[in-house]
Amino acid sequence: MLVVRRRVGERIVVGNEIEIVITEIGARSVRIGVAAPRGVQVLRGEVHDAVARANAAAADAFASEPEPSSTRALLKEIR
């Protein structure tokens, strides 16, 4: 992993199309801006991991497929 020291306003460029800019440095956190091309999602790490875990759980768990009729009934309720 590349570790570099940056100041506010300085950038990191990933490939040719992704730019990361340090916009603010606080005592316990930094604020950064990310510019990426359309089609590249920029996600907080914990959000990415939560979705990845949900996907993995879904792929692993469908041996216990639900009864469709109950599914439809509850889907109606949450509309």
Partner 1 sequence: MIRTHKTRFGLMEIDDSKAIHFPSGMIGFPQETLFVLLAGREGRSVAYLQSLRTPALAFPVIDGGTIGDNYPQPSPIELAASVGIDTIEPAVLVVVAAAGSPPTLYANLLAPIIVDAGERRAAQIVLDPARYSASVIVAPAVQTANDTTEAPYFANMDARENSHRPVADTDTA
Of 52, 26, 12, the C-alpha closest to 2 is 12
Residues in contact with partner 1 by the rule CB under 8 A:
38-41, 43-44, 47-68, 70-75, 78-79
Choose between 10 and 49: whose C-beta lies nearer to partner 1.
49
Round to whole Å and give the CA distance between 78 and 75: 5
- Give the CA dihedral 23, 26, 29, 33, nearest 10 degrees: -10
CA 37 to the chain's CA centroid: 16
Report, in Å, the least distance between residue 16 CB and partner 1: 17
Which CB atom, from 29 or from 41, has the smaller least distance to partner 1?
41
Closest CB to partner 1 among residues 23, 71: 71
Min CB(42)–partner 1 separation in Å: 10
